[in-house]
């Protein structure tokens, strides 16, 4: 790689300052208008918020938009609200009779991009968090490009191409963005391993740890596969002997082990959660994009409809966006292949290896990922996890081609022009072929193909204009900054129609439906429709929720409800939300015990169950069991306790009563028991490892009752029973993370000493 004289401090500073400016250009509508970069329209399709729907609003949405509204946004709301109150982040009491929060990982409690929620008002924190992901992605890409020898103008082009790519822009609210913002540092680490600098494995471990904290272990697995493919391609090009392969992949494995140790505080609770959970409910499953998504290289709007256009968005819109790396960088593809022969060998193999890694992951994402859906472990890696390297690879390729262009001599320029005369017609033919293929695969009316072709042609025209200008006046700054600007404008134009910005008041508005549920002061139960309603976004407690995955025990209980609906009365809610069909069908036998509180326009009816069980109750007749058997659950039989209980005579005298005695927190519930005979106190909150209890200050076992709930034995008399959640998995993970942190520091000291010995000056 050829170098100009050392760039000034000011040029580097201006490049660094340009990164947040480019990020702000994407989020400007949110920052300027007090809006949040979140789609809200699909929320109005659900009964609790229908009455707040603006006239004429289109409520259809992609799977990705539903996930943002119904899963990720409520998680951020709960995170911020709990931090504001100084409450625990271990447990979320609002969904599914309670569910672990930190352990779910995708809640991103420990993500660096969740830090704004610790200090700022929610709206400001959300916008700053979204902005930070773009800024960090741009800065890491700029740093990696500079370390790989690119001049500042071309390094900035790499930064623009990556930070404005689909994983960071379209998927900004997803854990995917938190994870991939650090991806350029992983590529830089793989390059260090390729040139024999395995001593940097602690820094590779730190990079992977930051990625893991982002909440998408599947995306980290895909990124590690990409790094391994890059390293393998680099070593294969060099025809390295086996010992060099060993020296390369051993530090990569060591870095992954170190990263797992550093994030054990998150990993250990997650593994415990996976053992207790099952995938059920939530938003619709991912739609495989298929090979037709290749058309999005040129036409990102062809297979997915921009919601701003008023059309129903197709389910794979966001996936096709992952294929689009920008019209201008794609237009530089023929230039790269025209100049490969003139590029310095080291830079050539770097770009080729990165393109091979990205292409391999892309083919796996478009072909293999759909075939492996449902497979153990590997089936969790979906198409969108595998397509995240595209933007970075194409940006590196375009910058490398452009930088080589301004250093050609006359003979090289003549040879390159001849190759380009063949390459660009092939590019145009490929674009035309993909246009017809993509149009045939589209199932809905698309925006005019002629308009999309004009945008693609515009990108080609800008590329050719820049090349022509720098052919006459070879200027790295003109071409580099021109490539940066053209890439940024093209990507913003491509993705802007897919972006939705909502007023904060439009997200989970306080409708009559919601206020009525909240005014009951109780957790809401009822029919299966509650599984589609994320009431937690309004901080309304519910026995079901839109979260996914859910605890296996909750799924078992929900399945039994389908055949024995009256089991719902054991979920600790005297408030039932039912439809007229429910009242005339499964609940007809208890209709005299249901008192109408509110009838909603949607057809739902809110009842008070006059004999409904409270969250805390004393039971004396229980059926002991040693294993969970769903068939044992019955509304007409005594509860099932998975615990060895002593034989007890029938209770004589008053049974006593139990109630929640004081304002509860996320991870602590105080129950007061008065006048009770010996029996079992049942708290109709989800049982989970880590829940402990004391009776009058003395520890006592907590065991599952009716598969889902928590139970403790209580003797005769008055008692204070305190349930508190203190997961051992978190404590174990914390110790492992501390030990891994010590290993990291020792490894970092070793890196510093070896660098000092290598560069004594």
In sign, the C-alpha dihedral spanning 745, 749, 754, 755 is positive
Question: Given this model, what pLDDT does residue 139 score?
Answer: 97
Determine the Cα–Cα distance for residues 341 and 356; give it in Å rounded to an integer. 17
Per residue in 141-161, is it b (16+ CB within 10 Å) or e — as a string?
A: bbbbbbebbbbbbbbbbbbbb
Confidence grade of residue 245 (pLDDT, cut at 50, 70, 90): very high
SS3 call for 618: strand
pLDDT band per the 50, 70, 90 thresholds, residue 371 = low
CA 500 from chain centre, in angstroms, equals 18
pLDDT digit string, tens, across residues 316-340: 566 777 888 999 999 999 999 999 8
User: What HEC string does 681-698 produce?
Assistant: EEEEEECCCCEEEEECCE
| Stretch among 428-432, 617-621, 653-657, 684-688 having the lowest mean pLDDT | 653-657
Mean pLDDT is lowest, of 51-60, 350-359, 509-518, for: 51-60
- Mean pLDDT score across all residues of the chain: 86
* 649 has pLDDT over 90: no
pLDDT digits (tens, 9 = 90+) for 279-304: 654 444 555 666 777 888 888 877 65
What's the mean pLDDT in 136-155? Answer: 95
Residue 701: what pLDDT? Answer: 94
Bridge partners, 91 (sequence order) = 100
For residue 682, the cross-strand partners are: 617, 711
Res 723 pLDDT > 90: yes
Q: Which two tokens stand for residue 504?
A: 């904060």
Predicted confidence at residue 598, as pLDDT, reads 82
Q: What percent of the chain has pLDDT over 90?
A: 46
Judge contact between 326 and 491, C-beta under 8 A: yes
Q: For 374-391, what is each residue's pLDDT tens digit?
A: 555 566 778 888 888 999
User: pLDDT-derived band of residue 363, with 50, 70 and 90 as boundaries?
Assistant: confident
Residues 60-92 have pLDDT tens digits of 666 677 788 888 999 999 999 999 999 999 999
pLDDT value of position 530: 78
Residue 445, pLDDT score: 54
User: 289: Cβ–Cβ under 8 A, 6 or more apart, which residues?
Assistant: 303, 316, 319, 320, 323, 365, 366, 383
SS3 content of the chain, % helix, strand, coil (to 5): 60, 10, 30
pTM summary value? 0.92
Give domain limits for the chain: 9-35+105-274+290-499, 508-609, 616-726
pLDDT average, residue stretch 595-615: 81
pLDDT in tens, 458-509: 888 998 999 999 888 888 999 999 999 999 999 998 888 888 888 888 888 8
pLDDT of residue 286: 59
Q: Please state which of the ranges 34-38, 133-137, 267-271, 538-542 shows the lowest mean pLDDT.
A: 34-38
CA 112 to chain centre: 14
Domain 616-726 sits in CATH at: 2.60.40
Weakest-pLDDT range from 121-125, 318-322, 677-681, 739-743: 318-322
Looking at the predicted structure, is the pLDDT value of residue 164 above 90?
yes
* pLDDT confidence bin for 435, thresholds 50/70/90: confident
pLDDT of residue 271: 94
pLDDT value of position 409: 85
Angle between helices 264-276 and 242-262 in degrees, nearest 10? 80
pLDDT band at 529 (very low <50, low <70, confident <90, very high): confident
Paired tokens of 119: 């200090």
Average pLDDT over residues 720-743: 95
**According to the per-residue pLDDT averaged within each range, which of 4-8, 480-484, 578-582, 596-600 is highest?**
480-484
pLDDT (0 to 100) of residue 738: 96
Nearest Cα residue to 609 out of 660, 641, 637, 567:
567
């Amino acid at each position: 790689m050829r170098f100009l004289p050392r760039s000034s401090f000011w040029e580097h500073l201006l490049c660094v300052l340009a990164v947040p400016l480019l990020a702000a250009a994407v989020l400007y509508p949110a920052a300027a208008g007090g809006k949040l970069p979140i789609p809200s329209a699909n929320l109005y399709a659900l009964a609790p918020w229908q009455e707040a729907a603006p006239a004429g609003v289109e409520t259809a949405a992609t799977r990705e938009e539903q996930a943002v509204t119904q899963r990720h946004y409520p998680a951020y709301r709960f995170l911020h609200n709990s931090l504001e109150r100084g409450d625990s982040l271990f447990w979320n009491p609002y969904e599914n009779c309670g569910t672990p929060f930190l352990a779910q990982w995708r809640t991103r409690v420990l993500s660096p991009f969740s830090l704004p929620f610790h200090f700022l008002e929610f709206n400001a924190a959300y916008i700053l968090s979204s902005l930070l992901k773009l800024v960090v992605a741009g800065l890491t890409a700029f740093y990696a490009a500079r370390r790989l020898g690119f001049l500042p103008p071309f390094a900035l082009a790499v930064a623009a191409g990556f930070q404005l790519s689909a994983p960071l822009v379209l998927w900004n609210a997803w854990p995917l963005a938190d994870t991939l913002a650090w991806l350029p540092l992983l590529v830089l680490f793989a390059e260090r391993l390729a040139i024999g600098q395995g001593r940097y494995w602690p820094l590779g471990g730190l990079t992977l740890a930051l990625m893991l904290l982002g909440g998408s272990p599947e995306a980290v697995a895909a990124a590690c596969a990409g790094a391994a493919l890059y390293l393998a391609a680099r070593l294969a090009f060099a025809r390295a002997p086996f010992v060099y392969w060993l020296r390369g992949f051993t530090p990569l494995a060591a870095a992954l082990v170190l990263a797992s140790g550093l994030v054990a505080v998150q990993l250990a609770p997650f593994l415990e959660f996976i053992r207790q959970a099952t995938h059920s409910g939530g938003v619709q499953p991912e739609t495989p994009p298929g090979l037709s998504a290749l058309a999005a290289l040129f036409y990102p709007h062809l297979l997915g409809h921009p919601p701003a256009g008023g059309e129903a968005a197709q389910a794979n819109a966001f996936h096709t966006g992952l294929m689009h790396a920008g019209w201008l960088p794609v237009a530089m593809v023929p230039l790269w292949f025209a100049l490969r022969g003139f590029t310095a060998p080291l830079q050539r193999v770097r770009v080729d290896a990165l393109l091979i890694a990205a292409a391999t992951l892309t083919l796996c994402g478009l072909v293999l990922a759909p075939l492996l859906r449902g497979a153990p472990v590997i089936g969790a890696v979906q198409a969108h996890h595998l397509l995240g390297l595209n933007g970075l690879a194409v940006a590196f390729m375009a910058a490398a081609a452009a930088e080589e262009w301004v250093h050609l001599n006359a003979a090289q320029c003549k040879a390159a022009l001849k190759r380009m005369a063949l390459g660009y017609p092939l590019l145009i033919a490929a674009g035309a072929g993909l246009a017809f293929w993509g149009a045939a695969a589209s199932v809905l009316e698309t925006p005019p193909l002629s308009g999309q072709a004009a945008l693609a042609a515009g990108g080609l025209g800008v590329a050719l204009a820049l090349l022509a200008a720098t052919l006459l006046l070879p200027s790295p700054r003109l071409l580099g900054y021109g490539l940066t600007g053209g890439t940024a404008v093209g990507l913003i134009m491509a993705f802007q129609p897919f972006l939705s910005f909502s007023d904060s008041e439009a997200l989970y508005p306080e409708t009559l439906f919601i206020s009525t549920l909240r005014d009951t002061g109780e957790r809401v139960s009822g029919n299966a429709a509650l599984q589609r309603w994320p009431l937690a976004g309004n901080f309304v407690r519910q026995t079901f929720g839109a979260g996914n995955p859910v605890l296996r025990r909750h799924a078992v209980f929900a399945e039994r409800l389908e055949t024995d609906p009256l089991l719902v009365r054991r979920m600790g809610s005297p408030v039932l939300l039912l439809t007229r069909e429910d009242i005339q069908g499964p609940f007809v036998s208890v209709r005299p015990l249901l008192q109408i509180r509110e009838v909603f326009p949607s057809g739902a009816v809110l009842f008070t169950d006059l004999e409904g069980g409270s969250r805390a109750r004393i039971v004396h007749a229980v059926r002991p069991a040693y294993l969970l058997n769903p068939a044992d659950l019955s509304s007409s039989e005594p509860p099932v306790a998975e615990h060895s209980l002593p034989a007890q005579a029938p209770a004589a005298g008053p049974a006593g009563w139990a109630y929640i005695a004081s304002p509860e927190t996320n991870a602590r519930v105080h129950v007061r028991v008065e006048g009770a005979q010996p029996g079992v106190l049942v708290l109709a909150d989800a049982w989970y490892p880590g829940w402990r209890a004391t009776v009058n200050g003395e520890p006592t076992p907590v065991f599952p009752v009716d598969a889902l709930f928590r139970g403790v034995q209580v003797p005769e008399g008055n008692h204070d029973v305190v349930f508190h959640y203190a997961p051992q998995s978190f404590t174990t993970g914390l110790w492992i993370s501390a030990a891994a942190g010590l290993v990291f520091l020792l490894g970092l000291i070793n890196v510093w000493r070896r660098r000092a010995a290598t560069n004594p000056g």
